[in-house]
Amino acid sequence: MRTLRRTPVSDDISRTRVEPFSDGVFAIVVTLLVFDIKSPNLGDPQSASHLAYGLAELAPTFVSWVISFTTVCVIWLNHCRLFDLIVRVDNTLFWLNANLLLWTSFLPFPTALMGDYSDNPLAVAFFGSAMLLASIAFILFRLHLQRHPELLREDVDLATFRAGTVSTSVLGPLAYVIGIGCAWVHEALSFAVYAGVVVYFVFPHAMRATRRESE
Amino acid sequence: MRTLRRTPVSDDISRTRVEPFSDGVFAIVVTLLVFDIKSPNLGDPQSASHLAYGLAELAPTFVSWVISFTTVCVIWLNHCRLFDLIVRVDNTLFWLNANLLLWTSFLPFPTALMGDYSDNPLAVAFFGSAMLLASIAFILFRLHLQRHPELLREDVDLATFRAGTVSTSVLGPLAYVIGIGCAWVHEALSFAVYAGVVVYFVFPHAMRATRRESE
Amino acid sequence: MRTLRRTPVSDDISRTRVEPFSDGVFAIVVTLLVFDIKSPNLGDPQSASHLAYGLAELAPTFVSWVISFTTVCVIWLNHCRLFDLIVRVDNTLFWLNANLLLWTSFLPFPTALMGDYSDNPLAVAFFGSAMLLASIAFILFRLHLQRHPELLREDVDLATFRAGTVSTSVLGPLAYVIGIGCAWVHEALSFAVYAGVVVYFVFPHAMRATRRESE
Amino acid sequence: MRTLRRTPVSDDISRTRVEPFSDGVFAIVVTLLVFDIKSPNLGDPQSASHLAYGLAELAPTFVSWVISFTTVCVIWLNHCRLFDLIVRVDNTLFWLNANLLLWTSFLPFPTALMGDYSDNPLAVAFFGSAMLLASIAFILFRLHLQRHPELLREDVDLATFRAGTVSTSVLGPLAYVIGIGCAWVHEALSFAVYAGVVVYFVFPHAMRATRRESE
């Protein structure tokens, strides 16, 4: 799997280091999301009802956190499935992967922003935009693989891979564009759309569909 | 161990990436717990007695930290032992694992909350509830494995595995429910229960019992 | 690849642990950079225009973040390519690697500083100095390898490796010294230089040049 | 290297997961140390001299950071060398390793404390105490291995291993006890002792001595 240096493909990067590096980034993002949830300040530190009220006020932060956590898991899962089809990582693919990691590692900021300003349409739209950029990063990644099938495993069927790219390019981005638009109608609507995307990807039938496409 | 794609089990996720990803999450949670312990503010920065007093006031934070650190180690150890019995990770198992990681990565928040409001019954009960959710996540994980023994190694005895699930389902959750209840009597009682669970799992004889069950 | 103990090279450190440790540090640095971008404080929490203004004010922070993220990716990539040529890690090389990790892990501080004080020449020059120290760490690493070719793979041509060290020693440090100088003329000029270095390393032709040298 | 389950040693934990988990903790600690260095607040944000003064005031924080970073690297290196001699990890060894990780992951707190209150003898003594606890954790780890030589590789000479434990038990702890004592005379004296320990371990001759002992 590892190509020898001095051959024409010698600027390849070892897949055995790109995968753990990416896994590290995903694991850290997923774990650090909770650190933006801060203990509420209480008038009376010993009062259970004060704390209950303080925790209830954090509700949008908890919802943002669960959505982001699950979204990063979905990204990680898609990353896993894509890398499973790859035999070589060239320089461009490395940077397209770095681009995906950039937007994934950015998610804690829009998550915190949406948690802090859950009534602000721009904060909610901003969250959707960050998600949109992450899903576009995936499309660019797939397009490069399509144009360079020598990076893919020999048993990958290009026609079905291409079909997978088309459906990936339409479904995710479309949902996020709708979510961004909804923010200007009502913020809760966007929350529902973002949560819907995640639920769609977590449920097995959706997964099975994605698999059929990518094979 | 890695199944070929296009076979009926082709939506499996490679165990070789699920394990390091999970290890990453556990390692980060365990390490970040200390970052919620903040330097005390001192009236006189150069006074040793002021600092001694400031550190003494942090005592419940230190206790919360040690309990959480050890609990995450126990979770990691159980995770290790369970994955040792697994040969394949299907889509549902992946998400049940993600659910376990979700509640584990959540622990720094209730830990900080209990450290900040150690005299507030709700803060102490909230900590127990988070632990309860993490232990329920383990039970769901085991139940799925029981219903899909094809994910387990061939030499795993299902009867003893099932017995292990029953004892896991009773012991941990029961202890946390008691701990949650105790919070409304006296917070220190809950601390003792939470610490007790950890001590039970750290001591070898408990371990040996768990092993006998899971084999 | 792993030398046996009790042989004359027995104080070698296993490459199989130095690489994941380093990857861990790079992955954490790259992911944590975003945590220095804090939600802006808004006069009216529900006003989209207030938030838009708040986000616009964060522009230099976003630019610092992208530059640092990409720089750490470049460092990681160079680290990958260098370790690909290495068969053994001796004690000195371990500490030269630790020195590189020290300056890499330091980057979040100058990044935050430059984000906070983008109009302060010293903040911008300080960022360049940290980058300069990281690139000097690379040179020291390469110089040790040159003096101890027994640590390198047998098929590495020392003449081309030396040529690579020379060009590495001139290009990166020179650019950062220029960037540091520019800070005292205009801060935006330094931003351009720092961004330029990154763009130079990301673009494939630059990569190809580097590769040709290091082989 | 991995023992089969159902044999008398079946509660062993796979070394292949303990090592990456530990590496993860070390990598995170080492990287997060810098996050306790906060941008100084400036009267005039654009003034280079204000910033220079602000950075100069952070000097003890920088020194604490370099000492802690290097100390964690030394701990990681010793951890590496010890695990190199180990073939099996039993339940007790797992928890002794967790104990070592506990004190290592604690270091960011005393580091921040010593940075914040570098003129406070207790803060400086507290840092030494945390180091002392980490070095005691190492001794406990070695003592368990001595009593259970079946966990060690067959070619490890127990007599030299024991001699190594003795010198480890005396050198490190003694230095930290002296450092703790010095804090009550003058804080800078303790800084010098802590830095001295690190320098001693970084320099090759010290390393060579340690190696000779542990082999």
| A154-202 confidence digits (pLDDT tens) | 888 888 888 888 887 788 889 999 999 999 999 889 989 998 888 888 8
- Mutation target for A interface from B68, B100, B105: give the one with most A CBs within 10 A: B105
Element (H, E) at D77: helix D59-84
Identify the sign of the CA torsion C174, C180, C184, C189: positive
Q: What is the pLDDT of residues C40-69, one digit of tens each?
A: 888 888 888 899 999 998 888 898 899 889
* CB-based contact D167:D213 (threshold 8 Å): yes
* CB-based contact A138:A101 (threshold 8 Å): no
Does residue C86 sit in helix, strand or coil? strand
Q: Which residues in chain D have their CB less than 8 angstroms from residue C126's CB? A: 51, 55
From C105, which residue of chain D is nearest by alpha-carbon distance? D31
Give the per-residue pLDDT at D198: 87
- Is B6 within a domain? no
Residue A107 has pLDDT above 80, yes or no: yes
Residue pointed to by tokens 């590892």? A2
d(CA C32, CA B32): 12
CB count, 10 Å around CB of D167? Answer: 13
From A106, which residue of chain C is nearest by alpha-carbon distance? C34
* Residues D51, C123: C-beta atoms closer than 8 Å: yes
Taking an 8 Å Cβ-Cβ cutoff, which residues of chain B contact chain A?
A: 5-6, 10-11, 13-14, 17, 20-21, 24-25, 28-29, 32, 35, 91-92, 94-95, 98, 101-102, 105-106, 108-109, 112-113, 116-117, 119-123, 126
Reported as a pLDDT band with limits 50, 70 and 90, residue D9 is very low
- Is B3 within a domain? no
As a residue count, chain B comes to 215
Q: Is D32 left (phi over 0), alpha (psi -120 to 50) or beta?
A: alpha
Give the residue-averaged pLDDT of B9-16.
Answer: 65
* CB-based contact A177:A133 (threshold 8 Å): no
Amino acid identity for residue B44 in this structure: D
From B99, which residue of chain A is nearest by alpha-carbon distance? A70
Give the residue-averaged pLDDT of D77-89.
Answer: 88
Reported as a pLDDT band with limits 50, 70 and 90, residue B8 is very low
Q: Which residues in chain B have their CB less than 8 angstroms from residue A207's CB? A: 11, 91
Give the per-residue pLDDT at B204: 60
On the 0-12 / 13-18 / 19+ scale of CB atoms within 10 A, D100 is buried
Reported as a pLDDT band with limits 50, 70 and 90, residue A110 is very high
Distances (CA, A) of C167 to C135, C153, C209, D208: 12, 21, 10, 35
Give the residue-averaged pLDDT of D9-31.
Answer: 81
Reported as a pLDDT band with limits 50, 70 and 90, residue D128 is very high
Amino acid identity for residue C137 in this structure: A
Amino acid identity for residue A137 in this structure: A
* Residues A98, C46: C-beta atoms closer than 8 Å: no
Residue A7 has pLDDT above 60, yes or no: no
Q: Which residues in chain D have their CB less than 8 angstroms from residue C130's CB? A: none
Please count the structural domains in chain D: 1
Q: Which residues in chain C have their CB less than 8 angstroms from residue D204's CB? A: 91-92
Element (H, E) at C188: helix C187-202
Residue pointed to by tokens 């979510």? A179
The pLDDT mean for chain C works out to 84
Shortest Cα–Cα distance, A115 to chain C (Å): 10
- Is C8 within a domain? no
Smallest Cβ–Cβ distance between B48 and the set D17, D116, D121 belongs to D121
Shortest Cα–Cα distance, A194 to chain B (Å): 18
* CB-based contact A121:A129 (threshold 8 Å): no
* Residues A117, C45: C-beta atoms closer than 8 Å: yes
The pLDDT mean for chain D works out to 84
Structure tokens at B41: 């503010």
Amino acid identity for residue A148 in this structure: H
Give the residue-averaged pLDDT of D39-66.
Answer: 88
* Residues B23, D21: C-beta atoms closer than 8 Å: yes
Smallest Cβ–Cβ distance between D52 and the set C98, C105, C122 belongs to C122
- Could you tell me what percent of chain B has a pLDDT over 70? 89
Shortest Cα–Cα distance, D97 to chain C (Å): 17
Shortest Cα–Cα distance, D154 to chain C (Å): 12
Taking an 8 Å Cβ-Cβ cutoff, which residues of chain A contact chain B?
A: 19-20, 23-24, 26-28, 30-35, 37, 39, 42, 45-48, 51-52, 55, 66, 69-70, 73, 76-77, 80-81, 84, 155, 202, 204, 207-208, 211, 215
Distances (CA, A) of B166 to B136, B160, B170, B214: 12, 10, 6, 11
Lowest mean pLDDT among C69-78, D70-79, D199-208: D199-208
* Residues D32, C32: C-beta atoms closer than 8 Å: yes
* CB-based contact B197:B172 (threshold 8 Å): yes
Give the per-residue pLDDT at D7: 37
Identify the sign of the CA torsion A165, A168, A173, A178: positive
Give the per-residue pLDDT at B6: 36
- Mutation target for A interface from B1, B5, B6: give the one with most A CBs within 10 A: B5
Q: Which residues in chain D have their CB less than 8 angstroms from residue C89's CB? A: none
Distances (CA, A) of B205 to B14, B200, D126: 34, 9, 35
- Could you tell me what percent of chain D has a pLDDT over 90? 38
* Residues B14, A84: C-beta atoms closer than 8 Å: yes
Lowest mean pLDDT among B76-80, B133-137, C13-17, D170-174: C13-17
Smallest Cβ–Cβ distance between A20 and the set C23, C66, C69 belongs to C23
Give the per-residue pLDDT at D204: 60
d(CA B24, CA C27): 11
Q: What is the pLDDT of residues C102-127, one digit of tens each?
A: 999 999 999 989 888 888 999 999 99
- Is A10 within a domain? no
Structure tokens at A47: 């009062």
Chains touching chain D at 3 or more Cβ pairs under 8 angstroms? B, C
Question: Number of C-alpha atoms within 13 angstroms, CB side, residue C44?
Answer: 9
CB count, 10 Å around CB of A154? Answer: 7
On the 0-12 / 13-18 / 19+ scale of CB atoms within 10 A, A30 is buried
Shortest Cα–Cα distance, D152 to chain C (Å): 14
Point out which residues pair with D112 in neighbouring strands: none
Residue B142 has pLDDT above 60, yes or no: yes
Give the per-residue pLDDT at B39: 85
Closest CA to C110 of C26, C39, C24, C194: C194
d(CA A70, CA A199): 9
The pLDDT mean for chain B works out to 84
d(CA D81, CA D75): 10
Report phi then psi at D64, rounded to 5.
-55, -45
DSSP summary character for residue A184: T
Give the per-residue pLDDT at B208: 52
Give the residue-averaged pLDDT of C158-187.
Answer: 88
Question: Number of C-alpha atoms within 13 angstroms, CB side, residue B181?
Answer: 6
Distances (CA, A) of D177 to C2, D69, D126, D132, D136: 38, 20, 11, 7, 12
- Is D87 within a domain? yes
Residue B65 has pLDDT above 80, yes or no: yes
Instruction: Estimate the crossing angle of helix B158-183 against helix B204-214, to 10 degrees.
Output: 140
Q: Which residues contact A203 (CB under 8 A, 6 or more apart)?
A: none
Give the per-residue pLDDT at C39: 86
Give the per-residue pLDDT at C11: 62
* Residues B34, D91: C-beta atoms closer than 8 Å: no
- Is C71 within a domain? yes
Residue pointed to by tokens 């042989």? C7
Give the per-residue pLDDT at B42: 85
The pLDDT mean for chain A works out to 84
Q: Which residues in chain D have their CB less than 8 angstroms from residue C101's CB? A: 30
Q: What is the pLDDT of residues B149-159, one digit of tens each?
A: 999 988 888 88
Q: What is the pLDDT of residues D140-188, one digit of tens each?
A: 999 999 999 999 988 888 888 988 888 877 888 899 999 999 999 998 8
* CB-based contact D58:D138 (threshold 8 Å): no
Structure tokens at A52: 């209950």
Taking an 8 Å Cβ-Cβ cutoff, which residues of chain C contact chain D?
A: 5-6, 10-11, 13-14, 17, 20-21, 24-25, 28-29, 32, 35, 91-92, 94-95, 98, 101-102, 105-106, 108-109, 112-113, 116-117, 119-123, 126
Q: What is the pLDDT of residues A10-37, one digit of tens each?
A: 567 777 788 888 999 999 999 988 888 8
- Mutation target for C interface from A17, A114, A180: give the one with most C CBs within 10 A: A17
* Residues D91, B32: C-beta atoms closer than 8 Å: no
DSSP string over A68-136: HHHHHHHHHHHHHHHHTTBS-B-HHHHHHHHHHHHHHHHTHHHHHHHHHTTT-HHHHHHHHHHHHHHHH
Structure tokens at C144: 């040790």
d(CA D78, CA D86): 13
- Could you tell me what percent of chain D has a pLDDT over 70? 89
CB pairs under 8 A between C and D: 91
Lowest mean pLDDT among A115-129, B9-23, B51-65: B9-23
* Residues A21, C23: C-beta atoms closer than 8 Å: yes
- Is B1 within a domain? no
Residue C146 has pLDDT above 50, yes or no: yes
Give the per-residue pLDDT at C208: 52
Residue B192 has pLDDT above 80, yes or no: yes
Give the per-residue pLDDT at C164: 84
Point out which residues pair with A152 in neighbouring strands: A86
Shortest Cα–Cα distance, D205 to chain B (Å): 32
Q: What is the pLDDT of residues A56-75, one digit of tens each?
A: 988 888 988 998 899 999 89
- Is C31 within a domain? yes
Does residue C90 sit in helix, strand or coil? coil
Give the per-residue pLDDT at C35: 83
Helices (H), B117-215: 121-147, 158-183, 187-202, 204-214
Ranked by mean pLDDT, the top range of A137-146, B7-16, C37-46, D39-48 is A137-146
* CB-based contact C87:C152 (threshold 8 Å): yes
Smallest Cβ–Cβ distance between D207 and the set C11, C35, C101 belongs to C11
Query: CA torsion, points B197, D28, A83, C200, in degrees to nearest 10?
Result: 170
Structure tokens at D15: 């070394």
Shortest Cα–Cα distance, D96 to chain B (Å): 11
Shortest Cα–Cα distance, A45 to chain C (Å): 25
Residue A130 has pLDDT above 90, yes or no: yes
Point out which residues pair with A61 in neighbouring strands: none
Closest CA to D48 of B16, A190, C124, A38: C124
From C26, which residue of chain A is nearest by alpha-carbon distance? A21
d(CA D215, CA D197): 22
Smallest Cβ–Cβ distance between A34 and the set B11, B20, B108 belongs to B108
Residue-range definition of the domain harbouring residue D164: 15-214
